[in-house]
Amino acid sequence: MNKRRITAEITAIGGYVPEDRLTNKMLETMVETSDEWITDRTGIKERRILSDPTMATSDMAVLAIANLLKDSGLQAEEIDCLILATSTPDQLLAPAASLVCEKAGLSSAWGFDLNAACSGFLYALSMGASLIESQRYKKVIVVGADQMSAIVNYQDRNTCILFGDGAGAVLLEPSSTENGIKDYLFKTDGKGAAYLSVPAGGALQPASPETLMEGKHFVHQDGKTVFKAAIKGMGNACQEVMTRNGLMSDDIDWVVPHQANLRIINAVGKRLNFPPEKVKVNIQRYGNTTAATIPLCLWDYQADFKPGDDILLTAFGAGFTWGATYLKWGNLRHNNGQPKG
């Protein structure tokens, strides 16, 4: 008898968003913009901002993990590995994942950071799935967390309206059922670095009075170029993953896209013939939280997902980086540590 291949199944979810809200009306007092203009162009009504100066990205990740562990009934020391997708680590060194492991009590886990911008969570999810499929690890937490408010210029109306702060986490465990992560496709095009980046603060342009004066430690974006590339990249990646898995649009139960811009989300859905009711959207509440958008969507809408549902995840980010992941939803754990059902 052939033994069924081990897949990585999402068995628990956690999330955290800061309490402080930055609404469109508040932005009207900061830059030349309006609630109507922002809503029409992006779909965003408000975003969460981490305003506590004693906290940073690692702390949001810790709170998302704490939420995951509480809901699942697992203990921190049961976790084998942590993969943290972020573009905004607390500092260049040490890795933020090391800080998260310490603060979250993941005493048995090793961890590392992964930076693929807005695509980071999907890249990290594939890495976590590989560790599970190797059968060397049983419980891997994948986190997407970003404090975008730390690198946004609140005098630039083209970027400050887009971004918010938050963290989302999923637990991956082995499954021998039909559920789990089935396939993924990723692409990278370094030419895109010219259109979406934080120019200074790294090895090429270390922080200096000049880079600070020129605002080079903030996000810089060519919105039109990114907009077009995101629609094309996410659309093509989804189509290729569906084609090689013999799937049509009607076969997909849910689409969970990166929450960059509602117009991008709608354009991708229309291009692939996904009805709006199948596409999960929470950008109106959180804005673009970069690596955190997809896990926060999974966290927000987890009650809608049923075992065996076919779900497509897709993202596009700086780099350019983009891709899609196909999975079958499984059984989430109860807070007694046992799988549901």
248 to each of 227, 307, 308, 320, 327, how far by Cα in Å?
A: 25, 19, 16, 27, 14
- Distance from C-alpha of 325 to C-alpha of 122, rounded to nearest angstrom: 7
Active site members:
118, 258, 288
Residue 216's Cβ-count burial label (10 Å; 0-12, 13-18, 19+) is middle
Q: Which residues pair with 141 in a beta bridge?
A: 82, 171
Residue carrying structure tokens 């090895």: 203
Taking each helix axis from N to C terminus, what angle separates 262-271 and 223-244, rounded to the nearest 10 degrees?
A: 40
CB of 15 closer than 8 Å to CB of 168: yes
Concatenate the DSSP letters of all residues of 207-230 into one string.
--HHHHHTTTTS-EE-HHHHHHHH
3 to each of 103, 173, 176, how far by Cα in Å?
A: 39, 18, 9
CA end-to-end span of the chain: 27
CA atoms within 13 A on the CB side of 288: 27
E-strand stretches of the chain = 7-16, 21-23, 46-48, 81-85, 110-114, 140-147, 165-175, 180-188, 196-197, 220-221, 254-257, 310-317, 321-328
Amino acid occupying residue 236: N
CB of 168 closer than 8 Å to CB of 125: no
Taking each helix axis from N to C terminus, what angle separates 96-104 and 57-72, rounded to the nearest 10 degrees?
A: 40
